[in-house]
Amino acid sequence: FVRADYQRREIAKVLVRVVINECKETLIIGDITVNSSPYAKYIYIRLGFEATGIEENRGEWSYILRYIL
């Protein structure tokens, strides 16, 4: 998570892109899976992730998203 006072500065977007690019360059894994809050779900989708599921944990919902390298 990005600390609240640093949100809306595209920091999370840059960090996710760095991870995607690093994984592509090293070819260690074939896909990336994340659990996301409903608020961050759309950021991941805009970066090319696909929603593959939803789960409830202690009264909170999270989305499972996957990026295929």
**Could you give the CA distance from residue 8 to residue 5 in angstroms, rounded to a whole number?**
9
pLDDT tens for residues 19-57?
Answer: 999 988 887 778 999 999 998 999 999 999 999 999 998
Q: Judge whether 44 and 17 are in contact, CB under 8 Å.
A: no
Q: Judge whether 58 and 34 are in contact, CB under 8 Å.
A: no
Q: Which residue shows structure tokens 């500065």? A: 9
pLDDT higher than threshold 90 for residue 64: yes
Q: Judge whether 51 and 65 are in contact, CB under 8 Å.
A: yes
CA-CA distances (angstroms) from residue 5 to 2, 16, 35, 36?
8, 19, 22, 19
